[in-house]
Amino acid sequence: MCGIVAYVGGKRAEPLLIEGLKRLEYRGYDSAGVALLTDEGMKIVRAVGRVANLEDKLENLGGLQGTVGLAHTRWATHGGVTEANAHPHRDDRSGICLVHNGIIENYAALRTYLEEKGHRFHSETDTEVLAMLVGELYEGDLERAVQAALREVTGAYAIAVICEREPGTIVCARKGSPLIVGVGNSEFIVASDASAIVAHTTQAVTLEDYNVCKVTREGFRTSTIDDVEITPKVMQLELDLEQIELGTFSHFMQKEIFEQPKALRNTLRGRIDEYEGKVVLGGLTSFAKDLVKAHRVLLTGQGTALHAAMIGRYLMEDLGKIPATAEYASEFRYRNPIIEDGTVVIAVSQSGETADTLAALQEAKDRGALALGVVNVVGSTISRETDAGVYLRVGPEIGVASTKAFTGQVTALTLVSIFLGRRRLMSAERSMMLLEELKRVPERIERVLEQDRTIKRVTERYVERNNWLFLGRGYNYPVAMEGALKLKEISYIHAEGMPAAEMKHGPIALIDEGMPAVFIANRGPQYEKVMSNIAEVRARGGHVIAVATEGDEHIKTVAQDVLYVPDCPDCLSPMLTVVPLQLMAYHAAVLRGHDVDKPRNLAKSVTVE
């Protein structure tokens, strides 16, 4: 979602801000803008569409001079995708200029109040309301004006603010939306995430909710919105530039699909005790007793993370021997859920910032649940709001369509399930066997990746089709959902994923001559049942693409196209069967000419509910 970059230091700010915006492009956006404090006052340039459009505009203007500025990529919430609605926004009295990520929920009441005070608005955004409010409350001290304005605001925000009357100062603040302050040598970069900072410094301060930070070339001061001073913690950003650059790949999504073997080796590293047949999860050790006594696990997330959570549900019951459910965070939160004693909630999230997941987590915590996180981004809000957790360690995921985070989440959830299972009813022999097999998943994914050309050829055959079905059973039902989601996200092809058995209860009506139906038909306990479902599709003229187990010759007699994955225990199969589906979606998007890493309308991290 929206991306923020702000700079104060000794260098020319414009190129630095543009470079920062490019690093944040992956978050998803539909317009962009910059504001600089120049010798001739505040200059604002905004453009609809890509950051490249903004660059063109700046070039036509001959560039902006100045060493203090703000920049923003906007993902529209209030008001359409227009230049007038793009950030930065300014006030009409005090020389205030502001960028914002989040939603000001009481913006309508604030706007009425400000209009009564004579302010005139030029956009439909909630952000302009905040800029006007800061301007209205400004009495010669930007930090105080921002604090006062934020005390009036409900909703979520990460903001950066500058003022013509205080040219060497940026004031930034957050509640609910991420923001960090990169600390350089007499220069500071405020940004939505580390990717816009690491090219310049690896030291950063993470702001907590309701924190305000005043930054000048000389240093920074952190306080609450009530002006209680805080001692900030400076942390080391664990991100190197290579991880966020494309290298030899054409797209980040492609890079991340191919990175999966390495990524999962990292997820597993140091977490398997082969001799004891045990899982070692440092983050969970001090909660082991609570986990053993737990009565129920509730897994939650959104999008791809929810699909991983759904697999987690099967894993928890099958391996962990504990009742488990998985559900959309957005639904859980608002259905007045019953949380009994001994409930463990597991929030699954790549970014650790998804607003719905965070809200569900808070709801569960308020009702007494033990809160765990399965999160990728270190130091993210969910990782800080949970009692304990497991990091994915798959490295930064830039492609909007989540791939390596998904397999990382499933791997981490497998580890948690075995961690639990071994402390409950699982025998040492079974856990040793499973851990041995789990260690071999990365090399097995490598074998799937070797078939990239075949997968591309199969995709070419069906890429013109506008409706697809993805079907699977048991562990591979969530994989079918994930395959359909990947295709929708980046190739804009309509696809549905569902349990293969459900097809007969309605969706079978969709099947006509040549409709592609992708079956996950690995050799698992429900193999024969899946074969029957395949026959039902074939009988109605549908085209079957099967993801099957190596060595299965029979499948070739029933499916038109077969993509093989290596044999492995059924509970570990999702990490393999999902890979051909990721590659199919990738190739379909490229063949259709779409911008794989910047799919229309999508945001990488959805920080509004």
Give the active site residues: 2, 604
Residues whose CB falls within 8 Å of the CB of residue 242, separated by 6 or more in sequence, listed in order: none
- Say if residues 302 and 354 touch (Cβ distance below 8 Å): yes
List the structure tokens of 96: 């205030």
Residues whose CB falls within 8 Å of the CB of residue 150, separated by 6 or more in sequence, listed in order: 157, 173, 175, 210, 212, 225
CB of 396 to ligand G6P, least distance (A): 12
CB of 78 to ligand G6P, least distance (A): 19
Among 145, 305, 310, 555, binds ligand G6P (CB under 6 A): 305
Choose the stretch contacting ligand G6P; rule: CB under 6 A; options: 184-192, 343-351, 361-369, 455-463.
343-351
Q: Does residue 372 belong to the site contacting ligand G6P (CB under 6 A)?
A: no
Q: Does residue 346 belong to the site contacting ligand G6P (CB under 6 A)?
A: no
- Say if residues 28 and 3 touch (Cβ distance below 8 Å): no
Phi–psi pair at 370, nearest 5 degrees: -80, 130
Residues whose CB falls within 8 Å of the CB of residue 219, separated by 6 or more in sequence, listed in order: none
Q: Does residue 349 belong to the site contacting ligand G6P (CB under 6 A)?
A: yes
Cα dihedral value 375, 378, 379, 384, nearest 10:
30
CB of 417 to ligand G6P, least distance (A): 19
Which residue minimizes CB distance to ligand G6P? 303
List the alpha helices (DSSP H) in 242-339.
252-258, 260-268, 282-285, 288-293, 303-315, 329-334
CA distance 21 to 46: 13
Please give the single-letter amino acid code of residue 255.
K
Which CB sits closer to ligand G6P, 302 or 431? 302
Pattern 222-261, ligand G6P, x by CB under 6 A? ----------------------------------------
Which CB sits closer to ligand G6P, 204 or 375? 375
CB of 598 to ligand G6P, least distance (A): 12
CA distance 531 to 294: 38
Which CB sits closer to ligand G6P, 431 or 605? 605
Choose the stretch contacting ligand G6P; rule: CB under 6 A; options: 39-47, 90-98, 295-303, 462-470.
295-303
Pattern 390-429, ligand G6P, x by CB under 6 A? ----------x-x---------------------------
- Say if residues 493 and 469 touch (Cβ distance below 8 Å): no
CB of 416 to ligand G6P, least distance (A): 17
Q: Does residue 354 belong to the site contacting ligand G6P (CB under 6 A)?
A: yes
Left if phi > 0, otherwise alpha if psi is -120 to 50, otherwise beta: which for 450? Answer: alpha
- Say if residues 385 and 408 touch (Cβ distance below 8 Å): no
Q: Does residue 111 belong to the site contacting ligand G6P (CB under 6 A)?
A: no
List the structure tokens of 255: 């890079």
How many C-beta neighbours within 10 Å does residue 343 have? 20
- Say if residues 137 and 114 touch (Cβ distance below 8 Å): no
Q: Does residue 1 belong to the site contacting ligand G6P (CB under 6 A)?
A: no
- Say if residues 130 and 154 touch (Cβ distance below 8 Å): no
List the structure tokens of 8: 């104060």
CB of 154 to ligand G6P, least distance (A): 23
Among 302, 383, 414, 417, binds ligand G6P (CB under 6 A): 302
Tell which residue, 428, 349, 452, has the closest CA to residue 391: 349
CA distance 25 to 32: 10
Which CB sits closer to ligand G6P, 147 or 357? 357
Which CB sits closer to ligand G6P, 351 or 522? 351
Q: Does residue 195 belong to the site contacting ligand G6P (CB under 6 A)?
A: no
Among 31, 67, 127, 304, binds ligand G6P (CB under 6 A): 304
Which CB sits closer to ligand G6P, 131 or 358? 358
Q: Is the sign of the CA dihedral 27, 33, 36, 41 positive or negative?
A: negative
Site residues for ligand G6P, window 547-606 (CB under 6 A)?
Answer: 602-606
Site residues for ligand G6P, window 48-67 (CB under 6 A)?
Answer: none
Please give the single-letter amino acid code of residue 178.
P
CA distance 444 to 450: 10
Q: Does residue 101 belong to the site contacting ligand G6P (CB under 6 A)?
A: no
Which CB sits closer to ligand G6P, 132 or 401? 401
How many residues belong to the site for ligand G6P (CB under 6 A)?
Answer: 17
Strand bridging mode 370-375 / 234-236: unpaired
CB of 469 to ligand G6P, least distance (A): 21
Number of helices (H), then strands (E), belonging to the chain: the values are 21, 27
CB of 201 to ligand G6P, least distance (A): 25
Q: Does residue 299 belong to the site contacting ligand G6P (CB under 6 A)?
A: no
Q: Does residue 380 belong to the site contacting ligand G6P (CB under 6 A)?
A: no
Which CB sits closer to ligand G6P, 71 or 305? 305
Q: Provide the binding-site residues for ligand G6P, judged by CB under 6 A.
A: 301-305, 349-351, 354, 357, 400, 402, 602-606
